[in-house]
Amino acid sequence: MGKEQRVNENSKNQQLEQFRSNDTGQKMTTNQGLKVSEDEFSLKAGERGPTLMEDFHFREKMTHFDHERIPERVVHARGFAAHGEFQVYESMKEYTKAKFLQDPSVKTPVFVRFSTVAGSRGSAETVRDVRGFATKFYTEEGNYDLVGNNIPVFFIQDAIKFPDLIHAVKPEPHNEMPQAASAHDTFWDFIANNQESAHMIMWHLSDRAIPRSFRMMEGFGVHTFRFVNDQGKAHFVKFHWKPVLGVHSLVWDEAQKISGKDPDFLRRDLWESIEMGNFPEYELGVQLLKEEDEFKFDFDILDPTKIWPEEDIPVKIIGKMTLNRNVDNVFAETEQVAFHPGHVVPGIDFSNDPLLQGRLFSYTDTQLIRLGGPNFHELPINRPVCPFHNNQRDGYGRQTINVGQVSYHKNSLAGNTPSPASEAEGGYVHYQEKVEGRKVRSRSESFKDHFSQAALFWNSMSQVEKEHIIQAFSFELGKVKNQSIRQQIVDMFANVNLELAAAFAVQIGATPPQAGGSNITKSSPALSQENTKKTPMTRKVGVIIDNGFNSAEVMSILTGLQAEGIQPEVVSEKLGTVTGSDGTELAIDHTFLTADPVLFDALYVVGGSGESKQFDNHTMYFIKEAFSHFKPIGASHMGMNLLEKGGMAGSPGIVLGEEIQDFIQTFVQAIATHRHWDRQIV
């Protein structure tokens, strides 16, 4: 292990360590270090007299409290984050000179923030929304931010329309409703009148918009970027994060109920997984395109409302990211982290994507207002691991104490330093793309096809996924009060697929379209979640159990499930323990009051002696709810009777136990399947 690698691996943790403070066992002081003798009562003129202005401790404490909140992000306000590391599998020297993509032995520290877009900081996490997936790489050449989403396209093509989009999707200004939801008039009015959003809407109304976990969703850079190698040769590139656990989602009814049962569901899942050592992993993939192939497709590669189909331009997997440490303080790290697509390193450059070009301005402007000035890069979570030297000075929150009399370039008093670095010395040099043209406010004709890839997405879905999209249209537009807007959306999506538009038109009281449709027959299997990886690893199983259970059978099954990476959590009537037939005690994690079937991936129903009707009633609620959400349910002992009583035995994904090893194997396979869509729900 070389010196540079050791520095790169350890320097971010060492850097953060100097800012950590553990107050346990310490004497209280003011922020100036003065020990405090009293923190219960303010200084007064007599016990019942007025508080005195000279009480500097009260003033400091109250002033700090009054200023503890900073403006929340306009978008992506509701977020959660974790630390980790990234390693490239093989050198990418052929394509880029970015150092962190060269040496497979080097671990680059990363910080990743997941988020929803539309809701405020206090909103629920399982709402239907786009999810942010932003990664900060602390490289030896400086910070590189890959600021993406869990959907590879966007609503609009030009950044000048972004304020309009967000104004439309946010709570309507006359009544500040609804929170964290797109199911209202102004959003769908925007969509109907800005039809470039058609492709994004198909993703937004698919299962992708309600992920089961941050650990089980893809990430995309959205935009077209450039890789540039040390010979100056460029390739267009799109970035992908592929979750090792596969891509999985909630069902809509389940997502809504989780919002009430546990609005912190996704962050809790991430936090607990890392604490348990089930570190989330994502492989980094790139789609690479030679510059001479820029115009060979039936879509514009710079259009952010378009994907590059993976069957046409394969994704090359180049490395893995592992999230292995939770934050120490959500405000100091998650809230104060400042991402920016313009934070790049040599070897990574931009394209002329008009949405990306606008983001390059917007992000710096956002950090200035949120974080109080131009020195947000000095906050511990944002500081690069490499030193930084320039002539920028002063400003709010300045931490660096610059020494010397020179703060300008060029100079002779400091030997003309700090001085620019040549390209050979690692200086960033922009790719020399030839640019010419008249100054115009217009859009390329190649950006004007809004429906072909929306049709491609629809064609790529399984029948179940198509049904979910129809249901999503029906729900969202069913909340729209204006009949004209509902009809406009029906007519708009008739251009994508007549069957789709007609199906939800009936549900929302609109006139089904008589003409339209698309002649696009192409599909992309990579777009369907039915084709994702399926594994039982880290799945959470609720174990419904009461006193009198078959000890030998249950303990063997729980051990077998844990051996497959499954996480059983015991649910019963009250906290404490339940006692098995031979006196074995099992600790209870949740009660029927504190848990809910929507919070588990599967159920293992054991029951007990069968003497408690209240237990059986609670258990039947759990079983019916999980069954209606197509989840796997295993049962042994008295639990089998309850499933048979409910008429669920024999349904897909229902596993009844007789021989222990066969039960474990079959139940594990059922859990890995995630959902059993061919189940008949009555």
Catalytic residues: 76, 149
- Rounded (10°) angle between helices 162-169 and 185-193: 150
Judge whether 229 and 97 are in contact, CB under 8 Å: yes
Please choose, from the candidates 172, 212, 208, 211, the residue with its C-alpha nearest in 3D space to the C-alpha of residue 190: 172
Judge whether 151 and 203 are in contact, CB under 8 Å: yes
Report the DSSP beta bridge partners of residue 545. 607
314 alpha-carbon distance from chain centroid:
24
The whole-angstrom separation of Cα 92 and Cα 96 is 6
Structure tokens at 555: 């303990």
The whole-angstrom separation of Cα 279 and Cα 592 is 29
Q: What is the 3-state secondary structure (H, E, C) of 456-497?
A: HHHHHCCHHHHHHHHHHHHHHHHCCCCHHHHHHHHHHHCCCC
Residues in CB range of 456: below 8 A, 6 or more apart: 309, 520, 522, 523, 524, 527
Judge whether 670 and 653 are in contact, CB under 8 Å: yes
Q: What secondary structure letter does DSSP report for 380? A: T
Asked if residue 171 has a cis previous peptide bond (ω within 30° of 0), the answer is: no
- Burial state string for 547-586 with b = 16 or more CB within 10 A and e = fewer than 16: bbbbbebbeebbebbeebebbbebbbbeeeebbbbeeeeb
- Rounded (10°) angle between helices 660-673 and 551-563: 40
Judge whether 384 and 82 are in contact, CB under 8 Å: no
Per-position DSSP letters for 53-71, written without gaps between them: TT-HHHHHHHHHHHT---P
Phi, psi of 557 (to 5 degrees): -70, -45
